[in-house]
Structures are given as C-alpha cells and as structure tokens.
Amino acid sequence: MIKKINFPYATRYNIYLVDEINSTNTYFKDNYQQYENDSVLIALKQTAGRGRYDRVWQSDDDIIFSILKKNNGYYHLISPLSIALALKKLNINVGIKWPNDIYLNNKKLSGILIEDIYNNGFVASIIGIGINKTDKDNVLGIGLNIDVDKYYLIDLILNEFDNLSKMNLKDIIDLYKKYSIVIGKKIIYKNKEYEVLNIDSNGYLVVKNDSEKLTLSSDEINIKESLLN
C-alpha cells in the first residue's frame, strides 16, 4: 500500500512510500494524474524495476525512488549530476557514464531511467533512480557499502536536483563534463570503435573514428573495456 509519509527532512516534495512494488516508474506512468508535481515514490523493495531497453533490475534494500515532474527540464543531465554532487557530500567520488549511469571505482553504482509522457504535448517526466547499497553479483556492479540513512541520501539528491534546476544549460553541461568518465575514452557503438571527443551544448555525445564523426543523442555505448584497461 502506498502512503504519504512525514519525511524526516524538511522538503517541498510530496514523499510517498511503498513496502514493495514492481516498479516505481511504472506506477507513476500509470497513475501520474493522481499525483502532484514534485511527488516522490520511495520503494523499500522493487521486484521488476526497469533499466534502459527494458532490462530488469531487481532490488531489495537498495535506494529506489522515482520523481514525478510535470514541468519540463534538462533531466538527462540534472539527474546524474544530482547523485554525483550528493555523494560528494558523503566523500564518495563518482563519475558519470554518458548518458546517466553512475560509476564508482569503474563499476556501476547507480542507474537512472527517465520516461516522458506526452499527450498533445509534454505532460510529465518520471525520473527513476536506483542506487546499490551493497555489491552486486555481476563484475561491474558495486554498492555504496557505507552506513547511510536512505532518506538522508534521497534528501541530498533532491536538494541538488533543485539547485541544478536553477542553473542555465551551459553551466549544467560544464559541470556534467567534469564528472564525465567517457570523454577521451574509447567506446563501442553499434559494433564500431570510436573515441569520445566531447559533450556538446545539447548534452549529446560527440564521437569519431577514422571514417566518421557522429553526434549521439540517446543511444547506448559500451565503455566496459576502457574502464577495465
């Protein structure tokens, strides 16, 4: 059962909690009309969370929540930055694998799934965030492995989210670049190797190889080999 809670930290967000759910993003997609702008749904357990390309991401006792935004914004940039800046306050230094995965010690710590709803124009964005509290079985998965109150970390992230939302796009991208772990790296895209040159003024990835130069807007890249070497 989903219930509104008295969040232990001062916040302007409407905070909701559920003990167990298939996916916080799916729930907000199906029920966004019933909730106010800036609502947050926290799940203690998520059984069928989704990553990009509908990959299943199961979670138990990790930090799982979705933010409902009914005003548009640069969420593909703000969301990963808000996590990176929040973790920095806990003395945890992470990097962003474009577009919005968070890596710690060359292993994936956090994933973000942003889903937009349109109905004769923009209606809402749902930003789903999952952060591993402990290490995962796969070789590139890592957890925070520290004793931190999940509500405190969520509060830090929401505060950074608000601060970033007040910034102009150029300043957001400049800050995003400082946390990028892909600029200057070799990546695989559609089975071809490229070098990442830059992140452009729209937040897109600029890559090149000997035969072509591309600008990628949202496609997935493979950087695992570069991280391991």
Q: Mapped to the 3 state alphabet, what secondary structure does 139-154 carry?
A: CCECCCCCCCCHHHHH
* pLDDT recorded at residue 136: 77
Whole-angstrom distance, CA of residue 101 vs CA of residue 114:
12
Phi first, then psi, for residue 24 (nearest 5°) are -65, -35
pTM value is 0.91
Residue among 4, 34, 30 nearest 17 (CA):
4
**pLDDT above 80: residue 140:** no
Instruction: Cite the beta strand spans of the chain per DSSP E.
Output: 3-4, 14-21, 39-50, 56-69, 95-97, 101-104, 107-118, 122-131, 186-189, 192-199, 205-208, 213-216
Per-residue confidence at 53, pLDDT binned at 50, 70, 90? Answer: very low
The reply to whether 62 and 174 lie within a common domain is: yes
Q: What percent of the chain has pLDDT over 90?
A: 79
Domain count, the chain: 2
Task: Calculate mean pLDDT across residues 42-64.
Answer: 70
Tell me, what's the pLDDT at 139? 60
Q: Are residues 133 and 28 in the same domain?
A: yes
Q: Which domain holds residue 193?
A: 186-228
Considering only 18-22, 38-42, 46-50, 62-66, which range has the smallest mean pLDDT? Answer: 46-50
Average pLDDT over residues 124-147: 88
Q: Are residues 39 and 94 in the same domain?
A: yes
The answer on 76 and 50 residing in a single domain is yes
Structure tokens at 61: 């006792």
How far is CA 194 from its chain centroid? 24
Q: What is the mean pLDDT of residues 169-197?
A: 95
Signed CA dihedral, 199, 219, 68, 8: sign only: negative
Q: Could you give the percent of the chain with pLDDT greater than 70? A: 90
- pLDDT at residue 229 greater than cutoff 60: no
Average pLDDT estimate for 33-41: 98
Looking at residue 72, which CATH number applies to its domain? 3.30.930.10
135 — pLDDT class (breaks 50, 70, 90): confident
Residues 44 and 132 in one domain: yes
Task: Round the average pLDDT of the chain to a whole number and report it.
Answer: 91
Summarised one tens digit per residue, pLDDT across range 104-115 is 999 999 999 999
Mean local confidence (pLDDT), 123-130 = 97
Residues 205, 106, single domain; the answer is no
Please tell me whether residues 34 and 147 are part of one structural domain.
yes
Partners of 149 in the β-ladder = none
The whole-angstrom separation of Cα 172 and Cα 166 is 10
- Residues 198 and 161 both lie in one domain: no
pLDDT of 6 > 60? The answer is yes
pLDDT for the residue 55: 52
User: According to the model, what pLDDT value does residue 50 have?
Assistant: 58
Q: What is the mean pLDDT of residues 62-73?
A: 96
Contact of 39 with 50, CB cutoff 8 Å: no
Contact between 81 and 88 under an 8 Å Cβ cutoff? The reply is no
